[in-house]
Amino acid sequence: MTELHQLTALAQRDALARGDLSARELTAHYLGRIDDLNPGLGSFTAVTADLALKEAAAADEGYHSSRGTGDGLPVLHGMPLAHKDLADVAGVATSFGSAALTPPVPTEDSPLVAILRRAGAISLGKTQVPEFGLSCHSENDIAPAARNPLDPRLSPGGSSGGSAAAVAAGMIPFAPGSDGGGSVRIPASATGLIGLKPNRGRIPALSGQADLGQFVVAGPLARTTTDAALLLDAMVDEPNHRATSAAPPSSSFLTAALRAEGTFRIGASTLSPFAAAFDIVLDQEALDAYLAGIRALSSVGHDVLEADLSYDPRYHQAFQTVWTASLATAPIPAGNEKLLTPLTRTMRERSQARSAPDLVTAIDILRQFEQNTISAYAEYDFILTPALGQTPRPIGWYTSEDADTDYRRQCQYSPFTSMVNVCGLPAIALPTITTSTGLSMGIQLIGRPSSEAQLLAVSAQLEQAAGAGDMFAAK
């Protein structure tokens, strides 16, 4: 018998809309899963069961007041999810993963939380993150590390690692994440999920236009392409009050995923912009996943060619400078710097010591990098890279070392993701192989500006060709 968490999010959403399933029933099911699984996986830092059940009851009452027709229901009516512990949820403490702060208890939702609440989603709690979302793991000094459901000795990646682990383990059907250098795509790749980083300006909340580097965007984590598309539709369904935004799609993202249409010219490359600074050596599993991706894309009709690319060797230093700049003004109480993790403390000290001309120079380098890279990519519809450079790393692999070793290891583990944030382009991570030890490894497809619909269509094509419905089912 199929259990509720083994259904796709889309199937759950449709059952709720038909009245075959109540929001209370679905919410209680997932809360039970969290009770059973979270102690071993550390996905949730806070579970808001009472609040979730209250919201589920209200959703059911709203359904019945519409005479059970489902007409006028919000797009995510009754659907459970969870938010990273970087986002404000009214009445729930926000820790930012840091021992240096006293967690504030906000009185209002942050914009993305409010958008998803209005869309009908029910939050089950807050999920684990690294300190200030800075790293590609999900470990900090205030709560147990998030662990990979495929092998709990390993990290699920980060910074959306707690959310990814929760989705992969079937504790929630899908989750919103935020991605400033790969923080949706990295944990998706480590746990066998679909992770989509939207185009800069696509999502009104976390648009990639608010932070200094214009890096950070919100994106969905899900077990299937259609589930990711469903959540993406809800995330974009708000007015965008910025002067520039991504071009509107011709139909919903869910429609694009369901149609799964199109054949494309794809440039394949294993070159990383970090290669000028660090030895970027791919694990065999990463290479195997990449080659499997080439074969799979070719088998469904795409033209995959080797791309002759090059990157500015100044990228590494410029990215680190801008990526860590906000730490200089982070509101750390006097005397609490010693409570920061070594990476955060070191990068904060360097940011505070850096001159304004140095910061401006770094921003200029990245803006030119964006222009040059998009120009080079324009020969193709998509660029294909490995999703990760290495298999998921053990818990503690980053955090036991000094800051520079931590940073280098992050770049070697995930050498292909941050450049996409710098360029503002959309990209999707999806699995292509299961290793001999049961881990998932995959590929990243980088699209042209505003091409999320095409990325979802290709991902759906590969799922259909692989019979991926069973592959993604939570056990």
Which CATH number fits the domain that encloses residue 255? 3.90.1300.10
Spatial CA neighbour of 375 closest among 429, 290, 311, 443: 311
Average pLDDT over residues 335-345: 96
Annotated active-site residue 252? The verdict is no
* Range of lowest pLDDT (15-29, 64-78, 221-235, 339-353): 64-78
Please give the pLDDT value at position 71.
Answer: 65
Query: Is residue 126 flagged as an active site residue?
Result: no
Exactly one of 98, 159, 326, 414 is catalytic; which is it? 159
286 pLDDT higher than 70: yes
pTM of the predicted protein model:
0.97
pLDDT in tens, 304-315: 999 999 999 999
Phi and psi for 44 in degrees, rounded to 5?
A: -100, 135
The catalytic position among 95, 135, 183, 326 is 183
Q: How far is CA 169 from CA 2, 230, 342, in A?
A: 15, 20, 30
Peptide bond before residue 310 is cis, with ω within 30 degrees of 0: no
DSSP letters spanning 53-83: HHHHHHHHHHHHHTTTS-TT--TTTT-EEEE
In the chain, DSSP finds a helix count (H) and a strand count (E) of 16, 11
Per the residue annotation, which of 84, 197, 272, 440 is the catalytic one? 84
Q: Is residue 474 predicted with pLDDT exceeding 70?
A: no
Across residues 104-129, what is the average pLDDT?
A: 98
**Predicted pLDDT at 69:** 54
Residue 440 designated active-site? no
Domain, as residue range, for 277: 4-471
Q: What CA–CA distance (Å, rounded) separates 172 from 466?
A: 24
Interhelix angle for 315-323 vs 356-377, to 10°?
120
**Which residue pairs from 258-261 have beta carbons closer than 8 angstroms and sit at least 24 positions apart in sequence?**
258/226, 258/229, 258/460, 259/457, 260/457, 260/458, 260/460, 260/461, 260/464, 261/457
**Interatomic CA distance for residues 101 and 420, integer angstroms:** 31
Strand-by-strand arrangement of the 122-127 sheet: 44-47, 122-127, 80-84
For the chain, give the percent of residues with pLDDT over 70: 97
Residue 205 neighbours by CB distance under 10 Å: 21
Mean pLDDT of 160-173: 98
Cβ partners under 8 Å of residue 213, min gap 6: 180, 322, 323, 325, 363, 366, 421, 422
- 3-class DSSP state for residue 89? strand
In the DSSP assignment, the letter for residue 446 is E
Instruction: Grade residue 475 by pLDDT with cuts at 50, 70 and 90.
Output: very low
Q: 260 and 217 in contact (C-beta within 8 Å)?
A: no
Please count the structural domains in the chain. 1
Percent of the chain scored above 90 by pLDDT?
92
Q: Per the structure block, which two tokens stand in for 410?
A: 């992050």
